[in-house]
Structure 1
Amino acid sequence: MVDVQVPTPSAETLRELYPPVEPYDTGMLDVGDGNLVYWEVCGNPQGKPALVVHGGPGSGCTTGVRRYFDPDRYRVVLCDAADWCAWEDAVLSLEPSGSANPYGDRPSMARLGLVRIRSHYFSHGAWLEEGALLRDAGRLAGIPGVLVHGRQDLGSPLHTAWELARAWPTARLTVIHDAGHKGSGTMRHEVIGALDRFAANGTPESG
């Protein structure tokens, strides 16, 4: 199902982020070959588990990411990976809410991480057959999903999300007309709404 260009909510109805929370547990996950991935857990220890696996490499386990989840209803696990580079800055700066150096102001060694990781994965095609992810997305049938994507996203074009929504039978794609890769108030509104519905009903639909 596709909701194309949802209307921008009014200032009175726009959903806001939840209050800041701090993690109650943290650690380093050994993923082999001397590599470690930072993880943290916040929210309600007895809440519905939610794993944040990717907010953009190196975007970090920040207060902003945590605040999308109702801390009374979710047990949120976040992981952090490598950082971005100047290419991301150049692309994202062209978007409506883009800034000059969203990632490039970070340490040079952190930015180098993205170059090395992406070069390694891209040169090997992520060790997958061409089109394998979309081809097998039908296996997700019966698992509800929500894809919230900015129409003006230059880093991850809308076409990819559109193809995934068509291949995933129980996914809903919501296209945000005023958002790019960095999001917008409307995108925040839609993401929080979807998470609230999952917490309440276990599905993205209103119950």
Structure 2
Amino acid sequence: MRYPVSEPFDSGVLETGSHSVFWERVGNPSGKPAVVLHGGPGSGATPWWRTFFDSDRYCVTLFDQRGCGRSRPLASDPDTDLSSITTQHLIADIEALRVLHGIDRWLVFGGSWGSTLGLAYAVEHPSRVSELVLWGVTTTTRHEVDWLTWSMGEVYPEAFSDLLALVPDVERGGNVPAAYNRLLMSEDEELRDRAARGWCAWEERLATLQGPPNPSPRYADATFRLGFARLVTHFFGAHGFLPMDGISGRLDRIVDIPAVFVRGRLDIASPLGVVWRLAQQLPLATLHVVEDEDHGGADVTDRLLVSATDQFGR
């Protein structure tokens, strides 16, 4: 069972020059430090993320990554320059927050896109990571992005045909997220909205294994819908702004970090083999494969994640 939602004891804004990054801290100010890396990209650090930690044991830093949530400017704003929103910029923000709060090392907790960011941060700053707890684990390589689009297009050909319908003919055989990002950055407001709806419909299709897609209430918000679609396609179209071996080729740097990875067997958002091979190279990592759960996880995933933070918080 997850813990009750705890209220922040501190919050503020990290000024980076080009972005104002909103952060908050929950739990025990003297507790074990942890940082939460939300998914999306662009989903925001909603209160739900706080519930994986015992507020008596942990001091948890959460923040809305550049371009989303309570950070400004939003990716949905017409004048926002997405070139200042990359994985390297987000890693720098994590480090700036660590320094701001006087933390030496902290547990890194993340899910989905946040797991890619957590791994990228860990291999860049291994001395600053005490443990890793990651779920829905991905590394956002070209192989995984192609899986998310072209491979899943073979599973859901009708929905994939709808997704491709908006893409110009000359771009239909290539990088689908990059092509969509160009549509989403168009000066044509109607085209931007059609593209945002199209991408979010594909997200809903992949999130529902059987039957018609379950509509997500957050996509009903036009501002969220556009910002989310822009950020996802911006990062996925650039394969996470990482070299092909940006994570897999640097795992030697984190072999001494205890880690817990959780993935659903039914998680079709990326191939399970990626995290399985990753875990084989990390002697202190435990991979839990949950047979009956998908990318969003459910009761077993929640229990495993809370068990991990409880264990590391002792």
Question: What TM-score, normalized to structure 1?
Answer: 0.77
Contiguous gaps of at least 5 residues in structure 1:
1-15, 201-207
Cα distance in 1 for partners of 2:28, 2:205 equals 39
Give the C-alpha shift of residue 89 in structure 1: 1.4
SS at match of 2:294: coil
Letter in 2 for 1:36: S
Give the C-alpha shift of residue 50 in structure 1: 0.6
Letter in 1 for 2:5: P
2:54 is matched with which residue? 70
Structure 1 segment 81-100 matched on structure 2, within 5 A: 81=65, 82=68, 85-94=200-209, 100=214
Give the C-alpha shift of residue 182 in structure 1: 1.0
Contiguous gaps of at least 5 residues in structure 2:
70-198
1:130 is matched with which residue? 244
1:114 is matched with which residue? 228
Map Cα deviations across residues 99-144 of structure 1 (whole Å, 9 max, x no partner): 7123653422222223323433344444432122111112101111
| % identical aligned pairs | 40
Q: 1:153 to 1:25 in 2, by over 3 A?
A: same
SS at match of 2:15: strand
Cα distance in 2 for partners of 1:19, 1:125 equals 36
Does structure 2 retain, via aligned residues, the 8 Å contact 1:146–1:194?
yes
SS at match of 1:179: coil
Q: 1:36 to 1:85 in 2, by over 3 A?
A: farther
Q: 1:39 to 1:31 in 2, by over 3 A?
A: same
Correspondence for 1:51 among 18, 35, 50: 35
Cα distance in 2 for partners of 1:52, 1:145 equals 15
Which protein shows a greater Rg? 2
1:37 is matched with which residue? 21
In the alignment, structure 1 residue 105 sits paired with structure 2 residue 219: yes
SS at match of 1:142: coil
Q: 1:123 to 1:62 in 2, by over 3 A?
A: closer
Q: Which moved more, 1:69-78 or 1:176-185?
A: 176-185
1:164 is matched with which residue? 278
Cα distance in 1 for partners of 2:242, 2:270 equals 19
Cα distance in 1 for partners of 2:40, 2:8 equals 20
Aligned residue pairs, count:
183
2:45 is matched with which residue? 61
Q: 1:87 to 1:37 in 2, by over 3 A?
A: farther
Cα distance in 1 for partners of 2:297, 2:250 equals 28
Q: 1:148 to 1:126 in 2, by over 3 A?
A: closer
Correspondence for 2:8 among 11, 17, 23: 23
Map Cα deviations across residues 144-184 of structure 1 (whole Å, 9 max, x no partner): 11101111112233222112212323211111112111111
Counting helix residues as a fraction of each chain, which structure ranks higher?
2
Does structure 1 retain, via aligned residues, the 8 Å contact 2:52–2:306?
yes
Does structure 2 retain, via aligned residues, the 8 Å contact 1:151–1:177?
yes
Q: Which moved more, 1:119-128 or 1:152-161?
A: 119-128
Q: CA RMSD in A?
A: 2.5
Q: 1:21 to 1:156 in 2, by over 3 A?
A: same
Correspondence for 1:149 among 254, 259, 263: 263
Cα distance in 1 for partners of 2:36, 2:288 equals 19
